[in-house]
Amino acid sequence: MIRGKEVRLVGEKGEQLGIMALYQAREVAKKQNLDLVEVSPTSVPAVCRLMDYGKFKYEQTKKEREARKSQRVSMLKEVRMRPKIGQHDFEAKARVVIRQLEGGDKVKLTIMFRGRENTHPELGVRLLKKMTDTLGEMAQIEGHPSKIGSRMHIILLPKVPKGQVKEGVGATDAKA
């Protein structure tokens, strides 16, 4: 698939083998039992490298697997509450939020209003403020509380240093 008539050949260890005709480069690759891979097709002459292409592809997939293994996907979890939540229920919800933040997930705190509760959004703001005060240094607030329809929400980000994030915490969505 190499189109140029002349190529700049680079050896397996990165050494320059010079500019030569394409058929000569293919012969060199055949003698060394390696593949001729075009590295830079736009340069003049095109740059080709001698390598074991199967081994190269294997190493690339191995590196990608390692990179995927080391990264943690952050999820957005939701914890729902009502404005007239009891103290014990509030503390239980706080424990759920703490567990999710320790797991490295974002948490969306949602206050659900019904009926006449909609006319008192300050109750929701007060409840969200109480929750953020309870969490203390564990959470960082992303934006201000926003009310959409009959729900008010705020998003919390974990403040835990990245080295201390626990893997695989089995926290599930808590809904009341």
Give this prediction's pTM. Answer: 0.52
Closest CA to 113 of 78, 153, 150, 154: 150
What is the DSSP code (8-state) at residue 174? B
Q: Quick one: tokens of 75?
A: 């999820």
Task: Tell whether the model's pLDDT for residue 69 goes beyond 90.
Answer: no
3-state secondary structure of 126: helix
**For 106-135, what is the mean pLDDT?**
90
Q: How confident is the model at residue 36 (pLDDT cuts 50, 70, 90)?
A: confident
Q: Which domain holds residue 39?
A: 6-70
Closest CA to 38 of 7, 16, 14, 5: 7
Split into its structural domains, the chain has a count of 2
The per-residue pLDDT of the chain, averaged, comes to 84
Q: Is residue 11 part of a domain?
A: yes
Task: Tell whether the model's pLDDT for residue 70 goes beyond 50.
Answer: yes
Specify whether 63 is located in the same domain as 123. no
Q: Is residue 1 part of a domain?
A: no
Q: Is residue 170 part of a domain?
A: no
Q: Is residue 135 part of a domain?
A: yes
Specify whether 116 is located in the same domain as 87. yes
Task: Tell whether the model's pLDDT for residue 165 goes beyond 60.
Answer: no
Specify whether 65 is located in the same domain as 117. no
